[in-house]
Chain A
Amino acid sequence: MTDLLTMTAVEARAALDDKSISAVELTEAYLGAAQATEALNAYTEITHDKARDMAKASDARLAKGEGGALEGLPIGVKDLFCTEGVETTACSNILNGYKPVYESTVTQNLWTDGAVMLGKLNCDEFAMGSANETSARGKVSSPWTVDGDGQDYAPGGSSGGSAASVAARSSLMATGTDTGGSIRQPAAFCGVVGIKPTYGRCSRRGIVAFASSLDQAGPIARTVEDSALMLQSMVSHDLGDSTSVAEPMPDLMGQINDGIKGLKVGIPSEYTMDGMADEITAQWQEGRKWLEDAGATCVEVSLPHTKYALPTYYIVAPAEASSNLARYDGVRYGARVEGGSLDEMYANTRAAGFGEEVTRRILIGTYVLSAGYYDAYYIKAQKTRRLIQNDFIEVFKEVDLLLTPATPSAAFPLGQKDVDPVTMYLNDVFTVPASLAGVPAMSVPSGLASNGLPLGLQLIAPSFREDTLVKAGRVVEKAAGFAAIASRAAGV
Chain B
Amino acid sequence: MTDNSNLVEGRSGLWEVVIGLEVHAQVTSQSKLFSGSSASFGAGPNEHVSLVDAAMPGMLPVINKYCVEQAVKTGLGLNARVNLFSVFDRKNYFYADLPQGYQISQFKQPIIGEGEITIDLKDGTSRQIGIERLHLEQDAGKSLHDQHPSKSYIDLNRSGVALMEIVSRPDMRSAEEAAAYVTKLRSILRFLGTCDGNMEEGSMRADVNVSVRRPGEELGTRTETKNLNSIRFIGQAINAEVARQIEIIEDGGAIDQETRLFDTSTGQTRSMRSKEDAHDYRYFPDPDLLPLQFEQSWVDEIKANLPELPDALKARLMEQYGLTSYDATVIAEDLETAAFYEKVADGRDAKLASNWMTVELFGALNKMGKTLAESPVTPEKLGALVGLIGDGTISGRIAKDVFAEMIETGGDPDAIIEEKGLKQVSDTGAIEAMIDEVIAANMDKVEEYRGGKDKLFGFFVGQVMKASKGQANPGMVNQMLKAKLDG
What residues of chain A have their CB less than 8 Å away from a CB belonging to chain B? 81-82, 88, 90, 95, 98, 100-102, 104, 204-209, 211-213, 239-243, 319-320, 322-323, 325-327, 329, 331-333, 342-343, 346, 366, 369-371, 374, 378
How long is the Cα–Cα vector from A40 to B263 in the complex, in angstroms?
A: 63
**A240 lies within 8 A of B60 (CB):** yes
**Which of B55, B60, B63 is within 8 Å of A205, CB to CB?**
B60
Closest to B90 in A: A323
**Which of A90, A241, A329, A374 is within 8 Å of B101, CB to CB?**
A329
**B101 lies within 8 A of A323 (CB):** yes
**A102 lies within 8 A of B62 (CB):** no
Asked if B100 is at the interface of the complex by the 8 Å CB criterion, the answer is: yes
**A205 lies within 8 A of B154 (CB):** no
The 3 closest A-B pairs by CB, nearest first: A326-B101, A212-B287, A369-B282
**A323 lies within 8 A of B57 (CB):** no
- Return chain B residues, CB-CB under 8 Å to A205: 58-60
Asked if B280 is at the interface of the complex by the 8 Å CB criterion, the answer is: yes
**A331 lies within 8 A of B99 (CB):** yes
**B100 lies within 8 A of A326 (CB):** yes
Beyond A320-B287, A323-B101, A329-B94, whether A242 also contacts B58 by CB under 8 A is no
Q: Place the interface of chain B in its size category.
A: 20 to 34
**Which of B57, B59, B287 is within 8 Å of A211, CB to CB?**
B287
- State which residues 228-243 of B face A: CB under 8 Å: none
Beyond A102-B51, A204-B58, A204-B60, whether A243 also contacts B101 by CB under 8 A is no
Beyond A243-B288, A332-B99, whether A102 also contacts B60 by CB under 8 A is no
- Return chain A residues, CB-CB under 8 Å to B287: 211-213, 243, 320
**Which of B102, B283, B289 is within 8 Å of A242, CB to CB?**
B289
Q: How far in angstroms is the closest Cβ of chain A from B9?
A: 40
- Return chain B residues, CB-CB under 8 Å to A319: 284
Beyond A326-B100, A326-B101, A369-B282, whether A98 also contacts B154 by CB under 8 A is no
- Return chain B residues, CB-CB under 8 Å to A332: 54-55, 99
How long is the Cα–Cα vector from A327 to B51 in the complex, in angstroms?
A: 13
Q: How far in angstroms is the closest Cβ of chain A from B472?
A: 76
Asked if B96 is at the interface of the complex by the 8 Å CB criterion, the answer is: yes
- Return chain B residues, CB-CB under 8 Å to A98: 57
Closest to A102 in B: B51
- Return chain B residues, CB-CB under 8 Å to A102: 51, 56, 59
- Return chain A residues, CB-CB under 8 Å to B59: 102, 205-206
Closest to A81 in B: B58
**Which of A95, A242, A331 is within 8 Å of B63, CB to CB?**
A242
**B56 lies within 8 A of A333 (CB):** yes
Closest to A350 in B: B94
Closest to A320 in B: B287
How long is the Cα–Cα vector from A98 to B287 in the complex, in angstroms?
A: 25
- Return chain A residues, CB-CB under 8 Å to B60: 204-205, 240-242
- State which residues 86-107 of B face A: CB under 8 Å: 90, 92, 94-96, 99-102
Closest to A366 in B: B282
Asked if B61 is at the interface of the complex by the 8 Å CB criterion, the answer is: yes
How long is the Cα–Cα vector from A82 to B60 in the complex, in angstroms?
A: 13
Asked if B290 is at the interface of the complex by the 8 Å CB criterion, the answer is: yes
**B154 lies within 8 A of A331 (CB):** yes
How long is the Cα–Cα vector from A332 to B56 in the complex, in angstroms?
A: 9
**B58 lies within 8 A of A346 (CB):** no
Can you name 19 A-B pairs with beta carbons within 8 Å? A204-B60, A206-B58, A208-B58, A240-B62, A242-B288, A242-B290, A243-B287, A243-B290, A322-B92, A322-B282, A323-B92, A323-B101, A323-B282, A326-B92, A327-B57, A327-B100, A327-B101, A366-B282, A369-B282
- Return chain A residues, CB-CB under 8 Å to B282: 322-323, 366, 369-371, 374
**B58 lies within 8 A of A323 (CB):** no
Q: How far in angstroms is the closest Cβ of chain B from A82?
A: 5
**A323 lies within 8 A of B280 (CB):** no
How long is the Cα–Cα vector from A346 to B154 in the complex, in angstroms?
A: 16
How long is the Cα–Cα vector from A100 to B96 in the complex, in angstroms?
A: 21
Q: Which residue, A240, A327, A342, A378, has most C-beta atoms of chain B within 10 A?
A: A327
Beyond A100-B57, A327-B55, whether A212 also contacts B62 by CB under 8 A is no
How long is the Cα–Cα vector from A209 to B60 in the complex, in angstroms?
A: 9
Closest to A82 in B: B58
Q: How far in angstroms is the closest Cβ of chain B from A317?
A: 10
**Which of A95, A369, A374, A378 is within 8 Å of B57, CB to CB?**
A95
Known: A209-B288, A329-B96; 12 extra A-B contacts, CB below 8 A, are: A82-B56, A90-B57, A205-B58, A212-B288, A241-B60, A242-B61, A323-B282, A323-B284, A325-B101, A327-B99, A342-B95, A346-B94
Closest to A239 in B: B62
- Return chain A residues, CB-CB under 8 Å to B100: 326-327
Closest to A209 in B: B58
- Return chain B residues, CB-CB under 8 Å to A378: 284
How long is the Cα–Cα vector from A82 to B57 in the complex, in angstroms?
A: 8
- Return chain B residues, CB-CB under 8 Å to A326: 92, 94, 100-102
How long is the Cα–Cα vector from A81 to B90 in the complex, in angstroms?
A: 24
How long is the Cα–Cα vector from A100 to B56 in the complex, in angstroms?
A: 8
Binary A-proximity of B282-305 (CB < 8 A = 1, otherwise 0): 111001111000000000000000
Binary A-proximity of B355-399 (CB < 8 A = 1, otherwise 0): 000000000000000000000000000000000000000000000
Q: Which residue, A325, A343, A369, has most C-beta atoms of chain B within 10 A?
A: A369
Q: How far in angstroms is the closest Cβ of chain B from A338?
A: 11
Closest to A326 in B: B101
Q: How far in angstroms is the closest Cβ of chain B from A216?
A: 13
- Return chain B residues, CB-CB under 8 Å to A325: 101
How long is the Cα–Cα vector from A290 to B85 in the complex, in angstroms?
A: 47
How long is the Cα–Cα vector from A204 to B100 in the complex, in angstroms?
A: 17
How long is the Cα–Cα vector from A241 to B55 in the complex, in angstroms?
A: 14
How long is the Cα–Cα vector from A333 to B282 in the complex, in angstroms?
A: 25
- State which residues 107-139 of B face A: CB under 8 Å: none
How long is the Cα–Cα vector from A343 to B154 in the complex, in angstroms?
A: 16
